[in-house]
Structure 1
Amino acid sequence: MLQSIVTLIVDTIAGLLAVVLLLRFWMQVVRVRPPMSVAHFTFKLSDWLVKPLRRIVPGAGGYDWASLLGAFLIALLSIIVTVWLFFPLSVQLVLLLSLLRFIQWIFYGFMGLIIVEVIFSWVNPHAPLAPFVGALTEPLLRPLRRVLPLIGNIDLSPLVALLLLQIGLRVVSAILPGMM
């Protein structure tokens, strides 16, 4: 019972921090300027970790690698607290589990962005955050839109992207048992 409570709390906090750190990195990758409220929330919640990490891993190529490293460190810490404390594992396995969780967060983040964009397109395509979310998902959907034609004036690229992300998530999750 204690383990499930600790896991719930740690996964919730770690997931929120990871989403913010990955969003911070992705906003720089796609060169999108977030709305002030999103920027303020993102930077306030992640500066405590990103700024010290920048001393170790400076930005290169215009990317904030400290944000990406921070997300991985959050994954590592969450695995240590939720798994390793209750079931001592080898350091290599803890690192592999952390990498898996990190990659899963990336896939889930992209899926969440696509779902939010789809909801905006159905409910209110002119919502203030719609262009921002659209800019974040465009690099994922653009290649699919080149291949998939509109069917009845409906864009199926988000559906295909979600399917491909689910497949990728399953492949990554299946790799770990094979490595053990």
Structure 2
Amino acid sequence: MLHSIFTMIVNAVASILAGVLLLRFWMQVVRVRPPQSVGQFVYQLSDWLVLPLRRLMPGGRHDWASLVGAFLIVLLSIIAILGWQTNFDFKLIFLVSLERFFEWICYGFMATLILEAVFSWVNPHAPLAPFVRALNDPLLRPLRRIIPPLGGVDLSPLVLLILLQIAVRVVGALLFGVF
């Protein structure tokens, strides 16, 4: 029972930290400026890791320190959860970390898609709505070229949700099926 509580706490803390680092990376990739409250939250929660990593790997067009930091958080959480159980099989820990990292990336995209859908139904003029729309636009734009709106309803977010779920399953199968 204590192990499950420990696992829950580690997963909660790691998913928040890694999620913030992934959001920081994605905001720079799509070149969207966050609202002040979101920006302060993201930067204050992640600067402790990103700034030292930037000394080791200076960024160019992308904030690689944020992406590497997110992976390090995932890796450390897996080591904390599985490390003492598996006689520290680094290959297994690394594969589980890769899978978890990819899952969290996809789950982050799924969360922003769901947020955008909620904003479009409840309050399309909410202060965060343009920010969330800008985060999703690079992923939805190619699908919107292929899938036209049906009766004024944009089905591309639903298609992207399904594709992201398929990607999570395929990557998991490939990582653990091959190795």
Using the TM superposition, give the Cα deviation of residue 178 of structure 1 relative to its aligned residue in structure 2, in angstroms.
1.0
- Match for 1:168: what amino acid? A
Task: Encode CA deviations 1:114-153: one digit per residue, 9 max, x unaligned.
Answer: 0000110011100000000000000000000001111010
Unaligned runs of 5+ in 2: none
Quick one: distance in 2 between partners of 1:71 and 1:63?
Answer: 14
1:116 corresponds to: 115
TM-score normalized by the length of structure 2: 0.97
- Match for 2:102: what amino acid? I
- Match for 2:129: what amino acid? A
Quick one: distance in 2 between partners of 1:3 and 1:170?
Answer: 26
Number of equivalences? 179
- Match for 1:10: what amino acid? V
Using the TM superposition, give the Cα deviation of residue 91 of structure 1 relative to its aligned residue in structure 2, in angstroms.
1.2
Unaligned runs of 5+ in 1: none
Q: Does 1:64 align with 2:59?
A: no
Quick one: distance in 2 between partners of 1:140 and 1:150?
Answer: 16
| SS state at 1:33 partner | coil
* Identical residues among aligned pairs (%): 63
Using the TM superposition, give the Cα deviation of residue 7 of structure 1 relative to its aligned residue in structure 2, in angstroms.
0.5
Quick one: distance in 1 between partners of 2:122 and 2:148?
Answer: 23
Quick one: distance in 2 between partners of 1:140 and 1:91?
Answer: 33
Residues 3 and 86, structure 1, Cα contact 8 Å, conserved in 2: no
- Which ranges of 4 or more aligned residues in structure 1 deviate by more than 3 Å? none
Task: Encode CA deviations 1:67-115: one digit per residue, 9 max, x unaligned.
Answer: 0000000010000001112332421221111111111110000000000
1:26 corresponds to: 26
| SS state at 1:136 partner | helix
| SS state at 1:77 partner | helix
- Mapping 1:159-178, distance limit 5 Å: 159-178=158-177
1:105 corresponds to: 104
1:10 corresponds to: 10
- Match for 1:161: what amino acid? L
Quick one: distance in 2 between partners of 1:159 and 1:90?
Answer: 38
2:42 corresponds to: 42
Quick one: distance in 1 between partners of 2:133 and 2:7?
Answer: 33
1:145 corresponds to: 144
| SS state at 1:120 partner | helix
1:85 corresponds to: 84
